[in-house]
Amino acid sequence: MKKIALVILILTITGFVVFIYNPSGEIEVNIDGEYLDLEDPVKTGEDILFVPAKLIFEELGFQTEWDAENKILSASLGDFRIDLPVGSQKVTVNGKIIKWDNPVEMFDDIVYMPVSAAVETLGAFVEWDESSRVINILTPQEYFDPEKQNDQEGPVLKVAYPPAGRVNYYGHSLFVFGTTQSFSEVHVTVNGEPVDILDSRTGNFLTMVDIPRGEEFPIIVKATDSKGATTVERSALYPAAWQPMPLEPLTIHSAYLIPAEDQVLKLGDILRIAIQGSPGAEASFSIGDRNNRVKMTELAYPAGPPGEGGIYTAAYRINGSDVSDSVISEPMRIFVSLRKGEEEVVRELPGRVRFLSATPYKIVEVKEEHELKNRGWLYVLRDSAFQLHAGTLGGAGYLTNVVSYLVEGTRYEAVGMSGNYYRVNLYGDQIFLIHKDNVRELEDKSALESSLSDIRLLKTGKKISLSLKATERFPFLVEDGINKLAVKLYGLGIDEDLTLPALPEIVNDLKLEVNTAESSDSMVLNIELDQNIAGFKSKWNGTKLVIDIYKPPTVSINDPLKDKIIIIDPGHGGKDSGAIGPGDIHEKDVVLAMGLHLKDLLTAEGATVIMTRTEDKFVNLYDRPERIDLYNADFFISIHANAHAHDAPATEIHGLMTLYNFAHNEELAEIMLSTMEEEMDLPAFRTWRRNIAVLRHPHIPSILVEAGYMMHPEDNWHILHPRGQKEFAKAMKEGIIKYFLSFAE
C-alpha cells in the first residue's frame, strides 16, 4: 500500500453560497497528477469551490445517470452509488442519507457539487493551492490500494490474514481479510464463495471460513475483474487438542512433565504430578525413595475425565511423614513410572521438591516501584485445574489469575516456592504467587508480628488520607467501588485501646470488621464517601499504610480542561506493530495519528498534554503509565485499534470498546463509549473491566479506547482514513470534556 503525506484541507465551509464570476483566471482540477480538460469552469462561492459533478465522477471511473424529472444526478461504480438531488444538502450514499454543509447546485443546466464534501464522501483527499489556483484531488486508490506484485496479472490483491505459509489457528471459524482495488468492479471469493463483506471505498474485505480440526486446510482467495483474475493461496491448521503417544514402545513424553521447576512446600500443600505417556498403562510416582510408589490416574485428555488418553495425574497432599526435624529438607527427586505387564519405563521429573517443617519460609518486601515492571503482580493460584501442554507460573502446572499490582514496601510471609515464585498464604488455604525478582529477602526477620495501633482520617483540598499505623508493614489488598474502598488487612493484631477516628464531612461511614468470609485472622476496613471517588493510591510511610482517596477535581463549566495535565498513550510502536491492517498500515501507525490529532485538540482547550510517544518507536508497556507520577497528571488515555480473537465471529462483532481497570473509572468508560458512538458512524460494542498494565495506576482517571477493529471493513474505513483519524480524535476529546463536566454538574 502506498503511504502518502496527509493533505491539509484548507477549504472553509459556509452555509450560504453566492456564485461569483472569477475574472482572474480559470481554476484547474488535478486528479492523481493529471489535469482535467474542463468544458465547464469551476464556480466559486463565498469561500466555497464548486466543480461540475458529472465530469468529476466520470473522470473517477463512475457511470452517471440524470433524472430530469426529479433533478437527481446519480453516479455508480461497482457496488457504490451516490445520488445528488439539486438544491439539497442531503445526498444518498449506498442508500444512507448524509448531510453536506452546502447544497448541490445547478448552474447553466450543469449540476455542480461542493468539491470538499463530495470528494471526501468518496474517500478521496482534496487540497486547494491558492497560489497556483489548482484543486488537487488524490483518490482512495493512491492511499488504500496495495502495491501490485510483479506476478499479479489480474487485479491487485493482498491477503493480510492468514499470512503466507501455514498458520496454526485455534478455532473452527477462521477469519480471512485483506484488500484489493478500491472503487472497482473487482469480485473476491474465498474457496469459491463470495466474501461476506467487501467495502468498495477501500477494497477491504472480510469473511469467515469453517476449518476442520487436525488437518491442514487450504485457503484460496481470488479477485476477479473484467481483465482477469489474481489468486493468493494460504493454508491453516487447527491443531488437535493434543497428540497421543504411541502404544508401543512404552514411552513417557520428554517435555510434558509437571512439576517443571523446583518446589518448596509446607505441610498440607498439594503437589501436582502430571505427565503424558503411552495410553493404557499403570502409572505411579515416587518422591526420593523410588520404592515408595503412589498410584496416578489416567485422563482422557488434559484435565478431562478418567480414561485411556495417556495423560496421567496425581494430587499429593504433603503430610507429617514427609517433613523432617530440620526446618527444610534436602531437594528430593521425583520419579514417574509407566508399566504394562513386564515392561516398565521410568523418568525423573525436571522439578525437585523440598518440604518445610515450619513456616514462614522467608520474609520478603516488595522492591521499589520502578523495579517491578512486567512481573509486579500478585497472582492467585488456582489449584482446581492444571495445564500440561503450556507453561504455567512457577512450573507447578497450576493455573493462575492476577489479583492486584504489588505496592512498594509491602511485606509478606512466604510459605514456600514454586520455581521463581514465592508462595504466599494470606488467608485460609489460598496460595498467592510473587516473583522473586520483585521482592528482597529480609534476612534479619523470621516472622511478621504486626499490630494495628492507630487509624486516622485527614481531609485536605484534593483528597481524604486514611492512615493505618502498625508496628511493622503487613500484607493488604484494596477492593474498590464507585464511592467506597474495602481495605483487607492480613496477619494483624489489634491494640486494645484502638478507636476509630471522627468522620470528616464527606465520609459517610468507616467500619473495621473481622473478615469471616476469608478467615478469622484477617480484617477489612470499609470506608464509604458521600460522592464518587476519582482515584486512590496506597503507599507506605515507615510502618504507616497511607491510602489517599482522591475527590473529584474542580472543573470550570466554561473551561473544563484548563490547566489539566493529560497523558496520551498511542499504543504499540516500533517493533511492536499491533493489530494487522488489511494493507500495509497497521495499528501502531493509525493510533499515533489519532494521538497527535488529539494532542492538538486538547492543547487548544487549555490542557497540557504529555505523549508517551510522538514517533514510530517502541516504548516498554510498563514505562508508559510511569509518566502519571512524573508529571502529576490528571488524566490518562491509551489509544488502540482492536483485533478479533481466534474463533470470534469477526464479520458480526465490530465497533467501539472502552476498557477500565477500577470501579471508579466505569463511568468514564461509559461516557467515552457513548460519546464516541454519537460522534462516529460506528456502533458501541462494550465497556470491559480488565486488569491490564497501562491501567494499573488507580489514582487518576484512566481509560483505554479500542477505536474499532482493524480487520473489519466498516471499522477500518474510519481507522485507516486520515479524516476518520481526525474524527476519532475529536470524539475522544469530547468524551474527555464530558467526563470532566460530569464533576462540574
The secondary structure of 423-475, three-state, reads EEEEECCEEEEEEHHHEEECCCCCCCCEEEEEEEEEECCCEEEEEEEECCCCC
Estimate the share of the chain in helix, then strand, then coil, as percent rounded to the nearest 5.
Answer: 15, 45, 45
pLDDT in tens, 457-514: 999 888 999 999 999 999 999 999 999 999 999 999 999 999 999 999 899 999 999 8
Give the whole-angstrom CA distance, residue 558 versus residue 331. Answer: 69
The residues near 452 (Cβ < 8 Å, ≥ 6 apart) are 468, 469, 470, 489, 492, 493, 494, 495, 498, 523
User: How do the domains of the chain map onto residue ranges?
Assistant: 28-138, 157-237, 362-441, 450-550, 565-744
The average pLDDT across 85-92 equals 96
Distance CA 645, CA 654 (A): 12
Distances (CA, A) of 481 to 406, 500, 623: 19, 21, 27
CATH number of 450-550: 2.60.40.3500
Q: In the numeric block, which cell numbers belong to residue 584? A: 500495509
Region 75-96: mean pLDDT is 91
The whole-number pLDDT of residue 111 equals 96
Asked whether the predicted pLDDT for residue 366 surpasses 50, the reply is yes
Tell me: pLDDT of 18 over 70: no
Long-range Cβ contact pairs of 321-329 (< 8 A, separation 24 or more) = 322/267, 322/287, 322/355, 323/267, 323/355, 323/356, 323/357, 324/355, 324/357, 325/357, 326/357, 327/356, 327/357, 327/358, 328/264, 328/354, 328/355, 328/356, 328/357, 328/361, 329/354, 329/355, 329/357
Question: Whole-angstrom Cα distance, residue 172 to residue 68?
Answer: 53
Whether residue 14 is predicted with pLDDT greater than 60 in this model: the reply is no
User: For residue 736, is pLDDT > 90?
Assistant: yes
Of the two residues 153 and 81, the one the predictor is more confident about is: 81
In CATH terms, the fold of domain 28-138 is Copper Amine Oxidase; Chain A, domain 1 (3.30.457)
What span, in angstroms and rounded, lies between the C-alpha atoms of 185 and 491? 72
Residue 541 has pLDDT above 80, yes or no: yes
Smallest CA-to-CA distance from 568 within 602, 604, 535, 537 is with: 602
Q: Is the pLDDT of residue 570 over 50?
A: yes
The three grid cell numbers given for residue 685, joined into one nine-digit string? 460494542
203 backbone dihedrals φ, ψ, rounded to 5°? 80, 5
Condensed to tens digits (0 to 9), the pLDDT of residues 212-237 reads 998 999 999 999 988 899 999 999 99
pLDDT at 291 (0 to 100): 73
The predicted pLDDT at position 281 comes to 96
Query: Do the domains 28-138 and 362-441 sit in the same CATH topology, yes or no?
Result: no
Mean of pLDDT values over 664-682: 96
Residue 104: is its pLDDT beyond 80?
A: yes
Q: Are 80 and 86 in contact (CB under 8 A)?
A: no
Q: Would you state the pLDDT for residue 9?
A: 32
**Nearest residue to 207 via CA among 232, 188, 235, 183:** 188
pLDDT at 150 (0 to 100): 66
**Residue 589 reports pLDDT greater than 60:** yes
pLDDT for 123 equals 78
pLDDT in tens, 423-453: 999 998 899 999 999 999 999 999 999 999 9
541: DSSP letter: E
- Cβ contact 189:229 at 8 Å: no
Of the listed ranges 13-22, 372-381, 717-726, the one predicted with least confidence: 13-22
Specify the pLDDT at position 142: 67
User: Which residue's entry shows cell 470534556?
Assistant: 737
Q: How far apart are CA 55 and CA 115, in angstroms?
A: 12
Look at the domain 565-744 and name its fold: Aminopeptidase (3.40.630)
Residues 6+ apart with CB under 8 A from 455: 466, 467, 468, 469, 498, 499, 500, 501, 510, 512, 525
Contact (Cβ atoms closer than 8 angstroms) between residue 555 and residue 576: no
Q: Tens digit of pLDDT for each residue in 28-63?
A: 999 888 999 988 999 987 788 999 999 999 988 889
Share of the chain above pLDDT 70, in %: 95
Q: Are the C-beta atoms of 328 and 388 separated by less than 8 Å?
A: no
Q: What angle do CA 611, 613, 619 make, to 5 degrees?
A: 125
State the average pLDDT over residues 651-670. 96
Residue 196 above 70 pLDDT? yes
Name the band, by pLDDT with cuts 50, 70 and 90, for residue 1: very low
**Are the CB atoms for 646 and 712 separated by under 8 Å?**
no
DSSP 663: G
* pLDDT value, residue 240: 82
| Average pLDDT of the residues in 202-219 | 94
- Positions of E strands within 288-376: 294-295, 297-299, 311-317, 334-340, 343-348, 353-356, 362-366
The hierarchical CATH code for the domain 362-441 is: 2.30.30
Using an 8 Å Cβ cutoff, are 609 and 545 in contact? no
**Using 50, 70 and 90 to split pLDDT, how confident is the model at 16?**
very low
Tell me the three state secondary structure of residue 34. Answer: strand
pTM of the model: 0.87
Above 50 in pLDDT, residue 22?
no
Q: Which residues pair with 487 in a beta bridge?
A: 478, 525
3-state secondary structure of 404: strand
d(CA 83, CA 95): 9
- Would you say residue 307 has pLDDT above 50? yes
Within 10 Å of residue 34's Cβ, how many Cβ atoms?
A: 9
The x, y and z cell numbers of residue 686, run together, are 462494550
CA distances from 642 to 267, 417, 586, 683 (A): 47, 38, 11, 14
- Which residues lie across from 161 on neighbouring strands? 177
Which CATH number is correct for 157-237, 2.40.50.140, 1.10.3720.10, 2.60.40.10, 3.40.50.620?
2.60.40.10
Confidence band for 379, pLDDT divided at 50, 70 and 90: very high
Residue type, 668: L
pLDDT value at residue 201? 83
